[in-house]
A and B are shown apart, each in its own frame.
Chain A
Amino acid sequence: KAGVTQTPRYLIKTRGQQVTLSCSPISGHRSVSWYQQTPGQGLQFLFEYFSETQRNKGNFPGRFSGRQFSNSRSEMNVSTLELGDSALYLCASRGRLAGSTDTQYFGPGTRLTVL
């Protein structure tokens, strides 16, 4: 079974621009979560989507948004980029049941650098 894939793997943007990151979950999985990893703040939850609906949202400004498509693929968008948005963005895929304790499987991440 193929794992979680994220594209692109690396991205360089400048302040004020916007960026879209993509995540394809494991086949059959319906939940996709996004996390931001920075040296200062560690790993922080951004949001979770299940069957195209946002189920949970972390404590991030409205510049961070996401969506999920009918095939469970998810995109995350960051508008008006700031230097502090430089981070590794990780996507995690989980099974077929909402609210279950199924393991989350992580993709390799997208490294975003904001100049």
Chain B
Amino acid sequence: AQSVTQLDSHVSVSEGTPVLLRCNYSSSYSPSLFWYVQHPNKGLQLLLKYTSAATLVKGINGFEAEFKKSETSFHLTKPSAHMSDAAEYFCVVSDRSNAGNMLTFGGGTRLMVKP
């Protein structure tokens, strides 16, 4: 069975400061990991995806994440927060153990950006 834990339910940063959203996962198989973002009253938008190529993954809008197998972590970072980054972020693991493709979501981290 797989699971995802997002270590902070809320993160507040000032505009222009770094962002760190923490995620730990558990998977019996070599996982595919994703970060999605959800703005209010919107669907989910893919930020980035890891699938066992480079451990440092670059995504859209300046976000990146590093896969660390020894720590079972996949933290999301951005060097400088922008007001438009305020949203909810989901760390997601994909189950490739069967013929389907089921996503397991973390509980989400709400990012607030102060001016």
| A residues with CB within 8 A of B | 4, 31, 33, 35, 42-45, 48, 50, 55-56, 58, 90, 92, 94, 98-109
Contacts and interface: CB of A to CB of B under 8 A. Distances in A.
Contact of B46 (A55, A100, A103): A103
A45 B2 CA distance: 13
B43 A109 contact: yes
A105 B46 contact: yes
Contacts of B98: 55-56, 99
- How would you classify the secondary structure of chain B's contact residues: helix, strand, loop or mixed? strand
Given A101-B51, A103-B34, A33 B43 contact: no
A32 to B, nearest CB: 11
Interface in B69-115: 90, 94, 96, 98-108
18 contacts: A31-B101, A33-B103, A44-B105, A45-B104, A48-B100, A48-B101, A50-B100, A56-B98, A56-B101, A58-B102, A99-B99, A99-B101, A101-B101, A103-B34, A104-B101, A106-B43, A108-B42, A108-B43
